[in-house]
Structures are given as structure tokens and as C-alpha cells.
Amino acid sequence: MASTVKAETSHRETSAAIVWFRQDLRVLDNDALQRACVNHECVHAVALRTPKQWLQHDWSAIKWDLYERRLVTLANELAELGIVLTVLDVPDYAAIPDALCEFTQRHNATAVYWNRDYALDEVRRDHQVEQVLVEVDVHVNQLDSNVLVAPEQIKNGKGEYYRVFTPFFKAWLQHLANVGIPAPYTRETIKRANQNTAKHDVTAQAPAQTARPVLTSEAWSVTEGDVRRKAQRYVREQVQDYKQQRDLPALDGTSMLSAYFEIGVLSPRVAAHLLQKQSPDFPFGLSEGAHTWLSELAWREFYQHLMFHEPRLSRGEAFQVETDGFPWRNDKVEFAAWCEGKTGVPIVDAGMRQLNETGWMHNRVRMIVASFLVKDLHIDWRWGERYFMQRLIDGSFAANNGGWQWSAGTGTDAAPYFRVFNPFRQSEKFDPEGSYIRRWVKELADVPTKYIHDPASYLAAQYGQDLPYPVPIVDHAERRTDFIAKFKVAKSAASG
């Protein structure tokens, strides 16, 4: 439960306050930063890097790099407002309470502000920090500007959280309609509130690099202005076509903003305000494409709510506990072929190679490769969940877990276990010319479109035994039948 936030008054306290940055690396529309600046005349900012914890949480090298680069630009942006960002290095979450308490006392601060996270380890971390700070008479203020609707704010008719997306989405939209969306805070708002501090010249100190795995994220800008302009352009020029184009991996039909939502450079409230300009009846009255894009923001929050209300999801447990009886094959050779993009199924291999090379994968292809791993290879969805987290630049623990459980048929609101994607038909439907496949599977660049989705017979005729690309490692029809039968038995045995 969020701590009570002090009411804003016309007379600010002369004491200092600390703003603790986590997965909210932004100046604009940051409730924690804005409230601290309004309520206190002196504001300090701190971020705590936890490399050991990030490794335990399977942060990808490219996400780590993006986060580090963003810390540097955030320090510069805060310095322009007269606020110093201090970056502290501690090994893990367990070390944060004492480190943050010491930092708070060093600056004679009477209050600490942060925006909430909702997964189990983060909830426990924040509770421990709050306990330590309260003991030294420091007031804790927890805000919710990382979501449009906090987990406690919407419930079904029984007073319980929603377990299915469609009714959740309806309630989520109605909540937005009833409550409205506060205007996003701007640099000017913070600068006016923080004018005493801003009189002093502040030079940003670039945080030292941590020892970490490295995969450059240089293709992704990390200045807040660039990210916001990217969001504005997308909503202004492309969002109306989102529903028609989002499933076509050969097109740039998605916003490519997910990595920025994940580390908090962009807030969902800013995204919603951009959509609000398109309809006076917001969140209703949007174009089909804009409404579908808004639903994706809701899906992200749905999975955060689930993880908050069901802490066991943070421990790797299936939402549908009866599915844990499925006899996974977990063949390490087949798993390695999947990881490396060498399964002999072009759309699957294209997706995995895109992921390994860039740290990102098109969303439709994510569903295809997930279905293939679980329902064709019969490999535990948790293996795929972890591999994605270790590679994705936008690796969201809640959304990644929710997506994998949806694909595996083990989660809430999941695809039925008997719904098994045929990767060849998916490829024909969503990459009809094979453009996406040819981009990432270079061995197939010259294969005619007629054969691009299932090239085994064509390649055999052309090359004989010396194939440039493998034949499919499994027979889809056989594995599909076997999966459905075994899943049905597992569910029946559990229900008993």
C-alpha cells in the first residue's frame, strides 16, 4: 500500500528531500520528482545501481547499457534544473536500505520520494527501505506515476482483482473516464517549484561505469526530448494504422517505445495524453488503431497488476497451478537450436536471430517463437521466459512473464492449450513475401517466395545433402498432437 503523500501547500518546507530514481528515469511527468520540488526547497536525487541483483534478475546486456546511458543524460537534464543526481553502487537490494538511509542523513533530508514498482522483490525492497527510514523520522512518499491505474484502484463486483483482460480493460477505461488523467508535469513546473535550488550552478557528474556485460544500445536515443518527440511522431503519423500493421514484422508498424516505458524514460500518462488529443471523449472515441495501441498500454498494466496481486508469479509459478504437471521434454539440443535460430523453421529462426543481434523482436514473432518452443519442442516456458529476459532491451518482468504464460496456456486469460500456432501458416499470413525472413535468415535470401516459408523440399532439390539451411528439427503436426494430448491429461489429473 502506498504511503500517504503530504498535501502540497503554498509554504514549502526548508528541509531537504530525496528523490529516489529507479525504473522512472525521467524528468517529465514524474510524480516523485514534482512533489519533492513543490514541497521542499532543497531536493537531491539518487539512483542506486545493483549489478548483482540485475544479474540475478536476468537483465540483458543491452538493457543494462541503455539504463547506464540514460543515467548520464538524466544527470545532465536534472543539472539544468539545479538538481544533482548521485549514483550509488551497491551489490543488491538487501544493501539498499542502509545505503539510502545513510545518504538521507548525510543530506539532512526529512522526506524521501519514489514511484512504486509492483513485482515481489521490489515490493519487499521498498517495504524494508520504508521501515529503516521511518525509524529515523524520515517521511516516505510513494507515488504511482509509472502506471495509469494503480493495482488497488480497480476491482470486480466481488471486490477482487481482475483475472481476465477484457473485463479488466473495460474497468480500466471507465476508471480513466471517471477520474481523468492529470496533466503531465513539465520541466517548467519543476523549475518554478525548485527555483531556489536552481539558482545555483550545478554540473552533472557522469556516473562511473559498472563492471557489466556489454551490448551497445547506441541505436536507441536516451535523451528525454528525443524519446518524447518519437512518441509524438508515432501518435501523430502512424498510430491510426497500428491495428492493420502491428502483426507484419517486415514493416515498422509498431511504436518501438517499449524499452523507454520499461526504464521509465517515457511514462504511460504522457502516451495517454498524446492519444487524448485525438478524441474529446478520451479514452473513448479513438480511431481503431489508436484504441488498439491504448489496449497495449492496458495489457502492460494488467500484467503488473497480476504480479502485484499474485506474488507467486514472481517466483516462477504458473498461474494455473494444475499445468505444472505437464511432462516437459526439455531437450537441451533442441533448446540450443531455438536459441541460435537454427530450427529449420524460417519465421522462428528469423525472430531469434533478430533478438540475438538487436535485443528486440517483433511482437507477433515473439508469440510465434514462444508457441514453437512450448508446443512444438515441449520445452518449459520458463526456459524461454528467462532467455528473453537475458536478451531483450525492453525486458519487462511482468509483461514477459504474462506473455509467456499466455503462449504456453498456463496463465490467466491464456490462449487455450489446444490453440497451437502453425509456424508455417503464421509465416504465410504475416510475412507473405518473406521479406522479414530474408532480412534475418541470410541463407534463404534467394529462395523463391513460393518456398520461403517452408523451404526444405526446394533446398533439397537444389543442394542435395549439402544444405545451406537445416530441415525442421521436429514435425509440427506430430508434436502438436502430442502436446495437446499430454496437456489435457495433466489438467485432468490435477483436477482429479
Mean pLDDT of 421-442: 98
Q: How far apart are CA 120 and CA 61, in angstroms?
A: 23
Task: List CB contacts of 140: < 8 A, sequence separation 6 or more.
Answer: 3, 111, 112, 129, 130, 133, 134
CB atoms within 10 A of CB 158: 6
Whether 299 has a binding-site annotation, put simply, is: yes
Whether 20 has a binding-site annotation, put simply, is: no
Q: Indicate the pLDDT class of residue 121, thresholds 50, 70 and 90.
A: very high
Whether 104 has a binding-site annotation, put simply, is: no
Whether 254 has a binding-site annotation, put simply, is: yes
Q: How far apart are CA 129 and CA 50, in angstroms?
A: 15
Mean pLDDT of 101-109: 97
Mean pLDDT of 477-482: 97
Whether 166 has a binding-site annotation, put simply, is: no
Q: How far apart are CA 16 and CA 114, in angstroms?
A: 15
- Least confident stretch, 170-184, 287-301, 413-427, 441-455: 413-427
Q: How far apart are CA 255 and CA 240, in angstroms?
A: 12
Amino acid, res. 94 = A
CB-hemisphere CA count at 13 Å for 63? 28
For residue 48, the surrounding DSSP H or E stretch is strand 40-49
142-162 pLDDT, tens digit per residue, is: 999 999 999 999 999 999 999
Query: Residues 176, 149: contact at Cβ < 8 Å?
Result: yes
Whether 418 has a binding-site annotation, put simply, is: no
Whether 258 has a binding-site annotation, put simply, is: yes
Residue 18: what are its φ and ψ, rounded to 5°?
-115, 135
Write the burial class of residue 461 (CB in 10 Å: 0-12 exposed, 13-18 middle, 19+ buried). exposed
Residue 265: what are its φ and ψ, rounded to 5°?
-70, -30
Q: How far apart are CA 319 and CA 300, in angstroms?
A: 17
Q: How far apart are CA 52 and CA 55, in angstroms?
A: 5
- Given a cut of 90, whether residue 115 has pLDDT beyond it is yes
Whether 297 has a binding-site annotation, put simply, is: yes
Amino acid, res. 21 = F
74-94 pLDDT, tens digit per residue, is: 999 999 999 999 999 999 999
pLDDT at site 438:
98
The DSSP string of 90-151 is -SSGGGHHHHHHHHHHHTTEEEEEEE---SHHHHHHHHHHHHHHHHTTPEEEEE-TTSSS-T
**Residues pairing with 48 in the sheet:** 88
Query: Residues 100, 112: contact at Cβ < 8 Å?
Result: yes
Whether 152 has a binding-site annotation, put simply, is: no
Q: Indicate the pLDDT class of residue 343, thresholds 50, 70 and 90.
A: very high
Q: Indicate the pLDDT class of residue 416, thresholds 50, 70 and 90.
A: confident
Mean pLDDT of 347-364: 97
Query: Residues 27, 143: contact at Cβ < 8 Å?
Result: no
Q: How far apart are CA 7 and CA 139, in angstroms?
A: 13
pLDDT at site 5:
34
Relative to beta strand 13-21, strand 139-143 is: unpaired
Amino acid, res. 212 = R
Nearest to 147 by CA among 112, 176, 124: 176
Nearest to 299 by CA among 252, 353, 349, 363: 363
Q: How far apart are CA 490 and CA 471, in angstroms?
A: 31
Query: Residues 377, 369: contact at Cβ < 8 Å?
Result: no
Whether 293 has a binding-site annotation, put simply, is: yes
Amino acid, res. 121 = D
189-223 pLDDT, tens digit per residue, is: 776 666 644 444 555 555 666 666 678 999 999 99
Mean pLDDT of 125-142: 98
Positions annotated as catalytic residues are 296, 299, 328, 363, 381, 404
Whether 303 has a binding-site annotation, put simply, is: yes
pLDDT at site 375:
97
Check residues 493 and 198 and name the one with the higher pLDDT.
493
Q: How far apart are CA 106 and CA 110, in angstroms?
A: 11
Whether 26 has a binding-site annotation, put simply, is: no
**Residues pairing with 18 in the sheet:** 44, 112
Domain architecture of the chain: domains with CATH: 321-495 (1.10.579.10)
Nearest to 398 by CA among 323, 317, 314: 314
Residue 375: what are its φ and ψ, rounded to 5°?
-100, -15
Whether 443 has a binding-site annotation, put simply, is: no
pLDDT at site 204:
58
- Share the mean pLDDT of the chain: 92
- Given a cut of 90, whether residue 104 has pLDDT beyond it is yes
Whether 302 has a binding-site annotation, put simply, is: yes
Q: How far is CA 448 from the centre of its chain?
A: 37
301-321 pLDDT, tens digit per residue, is: 999 999 999 999 999 999 999
Nearest to 317 by CA among 220, 405, 439: 405
The pLDDT > 90 percentage for the chain reads: 85
- Given a cut of 90, whether residue 380 has pLDDT beyond it is yes
Residue 113: what are its φ and ψ, rounded to 5°?
-120, 140
